[in-house]
Structure 1
């Protein structure tokens, strides 16, 4: 393997850190409802931050699969939206520092990239890595957004319950990073927000709000989400209106509501669910993720 240090460049005037949290928000995998993107943008737009390390995307990105946009004006190329993958130092509302790894998921050199991230984790004294994800689920938008938590050590999960026993899904750099960190004795966990499958291709701020709140609850960071909450309310109003105008959509949402409510009643009674009201099986979830990824690939061609 090539030297992982050759993948990134450090900024000048690096801070002395110890025991900080690293939030990793890599886009380009599932990201249903653009929840990872919305979470990343919220953190960088609403909290003080600066770049500590920049990764060389020319070594990591397949530009032909994810072509960055350019703008043409009349007779010339006016601008190019250059992609960036960087490690940011961010301060929460109280001034507490944490790290944010944000940008497109690498297409190439996964293991070398993960080694590079581990170098940075050791250099900056990271005590916990938290990954963000969002997956399409057969849940209604009219119920509170849910989240699946996973970790390298069960003690990190707190009161989060697991409802999946075993599922095979396509790998991602973020999930592989969590796995490799666990192998090397580092603490890491991840949150996957549940996005209604019929809104997976839309923008769904409620899922981003839940992801950031999950990070805050786990780490103690003070990360207000008022802007996301307001945006989520606006999206909810618009979706309610569109559903009300479509008889088929109304039936779908009503069916998902009944399924969701039955599932919760079952869990309260320490049962998986009432007969005939199960949420998707592991195989069905894997198939749904495969379908979503296929649509993402088709849309990018």
Structure 2
């Protein structure tokens, strides 16, 4: 069985750039995967290939889906594929190759090899990976991305925070490394998102990634819908913080510490679990007052 199943192999792509994000550990508050979904919807992306999940997923950890509500007794099982899609912005000299799906469970080197072979087949020279991480950042503060590149010139002048992390990595880190080793121009961009709002999709983080992606690819993205979603996210969290004294106190501590310490390490702050629990409790009680 082929591990990459092609629907079609387009040959007329315009200097395409591959953009990849994966749900799961690399995707706090779904900010990175939502950015790729937004691009696909914005530019009416079409699927050209999918990775067969059989050799890459533990189906007890990433389960297939089924819908039995139709009552016809013949419901299809939806498997956790990683899809490769083509998006063709009308007013651009480049196309997007979008990669979206859940982080695989195993055989990461083979998985990355399949994606990069597909990239080569489609004429890709630049691979951009997107991620998001939980951080001690306040929901209404500007988002400063963390970024790295195979060639520093690719992200010059973008005011990215240099990476300072050492520890376990996810498929985004492995794919970025593999792309660099394979000779692709490679960029990895990460959005820090508020740990106390981790239960909400963070459109503000997605918007920050899209705006940086415009700079990295030279492809303009009209993102009015995403801007409104980012405002809605910020307003929703702000209402919860204002209405809940305990949550407000914890966020004020975080703001004060950020002002005192700038970009330095934060100490004596409420934990992400404390903050998230307060926010989720408030939203749950608001939605279900009984």
Short-chain TM bin: 0.7 to 0.9
| Deviation of the 1:81 alpha carbon | 4.0
- What is the aligned residue count? 269
Per the alignment, residue 91 of structure 1 pairs with: 88
Per the alignment, residue 282 of structure 2 pairs with: none
Preserved contact between residue 84 and residue 97 of structure 2 (Cα < 8 Å): yes
| Deviation of the 1:159 alpha carbon | 2.0
Q: Which runs of 5+ in 1 are unaligned?
A: 265-272, 293-301
Distance 2:17 2:126 in 1: 5
Correspondence for 1:142 among 140, 143, 149 = 140
Q: How does 1:239-278 map to 2 (within 5 A)?
A: 239-264=237-262, 278=264
Instruction: For residue 6 of structure 1, give the secondary structure of its aligned residue in structure 2.
Output: coil
Distance 1:183 1:35 in 2: 27
Preserved contact between residue 149 and residue 160 of structure 1 (Cα < 8 Å): no
Instruction: For residue 126 of structure 1, give the secondary structure of its aligned residue in structure 2.
Output: coil
Q: How does 1:93-108 map to 2 (within 5 A)?
A: 93-94=90-91, 96-108=94-106
| Deviation of the 1:84 alpha carbon | 2.5
| Deviation of the 1:184 alpha carbon | 2.7
| Deviation of the 1:74 alpha carbon | 8.6
Per the alignment, residue 52 of structure 2 pairs with: 56
Correspondence for 1:279 among 234, 248, 265 = 265
Superposition TM-score, scaled by structure 1 size: 0.80
CA offsets, 1:189-226, max 9 Å, x none?
11110101101222111001111111112111121221
Distance 1:57 1:178 in 2: 21
Per the alignment, residue 36 of structure 2 pairs with: 40
Runs of 4+ in 1 over 6 A off after TM superposition: none
Shift in CA distance, 14/160, structure 1 to aligned 2, threshold 3 Å:
closer
Preserved contact between residue 4 and residue 50 of structure 2 (Cα < 8 Å): yes
CA offsets, 1:90-110, max 9 Å, x none?
022515412111111221211
Per the alignment, residue 297 of structure 1 pairs with: none
Q: Which runs of 5+ in 2 are unaligned?
A: 277-290
Per the alignment, residue 224 of structure 1 pairs with: 222
Instruction: For residue 62 of structure 2, give the secondary structure of its aligned residue in structure 1.
Output: coil
| Deviation of the 1:117 alpha carbon | 1.6
Per the alignment, residue 22 of structure 2 pairs with: 26
Distance 1:175 1:279 in 2: 23
CA offsets, 1:64-120, max 9 Å, x none?
102233333396575644433111110225154121111112212111111112211
Preserved contact between residue 71 and residue 77 of structure 1 (Cα < 8 Å): no
Preserved contact between residue 138 and residue 279 of structure 1 (Cα < 8 Å): no
| Deviation of the 1:172 alpha carbon | 1.3
Cα RMSD, aligned residues only: 2.7
Preserved contact between residue 22 and residue 130 of structure 1 (Cα < 8 Å): yes
Distance 1:15 1:244 in 2: 54
